[in-house]
Copies of this chain bind each other. A is one copy, B any other.
């Protein structure tokens, strides 16, 4: 028996995207965004949705570029930190000790310590309400050499985690369940 819980911005699970940008002075910033996901295969695109009040929103509008960095479980504290404070008042790279490396492809910083980074160029902006949806074309993906398997990131080694908005908690990825496009095939 199902019950209404009202209109809420809830799905399970949400990703943990750390968005990298530069401000006008070239100061690198990063913020935690759970409102996002892949939104096209050709060209490969990802959407991130941000409040206009955020510094990252301001930076994306200015630079038309951003990175989506995927943190490993070992960086849960840093990932949470960059979602609490604003780049307007703190230098988050300095505070966390994480290293910004300038992308050679887009005008945005790559977080060196995180295993995987999508380098994105802004191609669409959609005003929805409290949030603006930014569509970034993924121009390249950089992955730690040791965490690549068959030219894609090996999830057992990148060790991403998820955000559950319902409980406002982070969870690791659990056990392997099944092969997609396979387990559901009619024999």
Interface residues in chain A, defined as those with a beta carbon under 8 Å from any beta carbon in chain B? 1-15, 17, 34-47, 49, 51, 68, 70, 73, 76-85, 95, 110, 112, 116-118, 123-124, 126, 128-131, 133, 135, 137-145, 148, 151-155, 158, 160-186
Do residues A133 and B40 form an inter-chain contact, with CB atoms below 8 A? Answer: yes
Which of B37, B78, B158, B171 is within 8 Å of A173, CB to CB? Answer: B171
Residue numbers in B under 8 Å from A35 (CB-CB): 37-41
Do residues B182 and A10 form an inter-chain contact, with CB atoms below 8 A? Answer: no
Closest B residue to A68 by CB, please name it. Answer: B11
Q: How many copies does the complex hold?
A: 2
> Separation in Å of the A181 CB from the closest CB of chain B?
6
Given A5-B143, A38-B34, A142-B3, the answer on whether A171 and B179 have CB atoms closer than 8 Å is: no
Extra contacts, 13 of them, besides A7-B140, A15-B15, A171-B175 (Cβ < 8 A), are A2-B142, A4-B141, A5-B140, A35-B37, A35-B39, A35-B41, A38-B49, A39-B128, A41-B131, A43-B128, A76-B184, A126-B126, A170-B176
Given A169-B180, A184-B84, the answer on whether A8 and B76 have CB atoms closer than 8 Å is: no
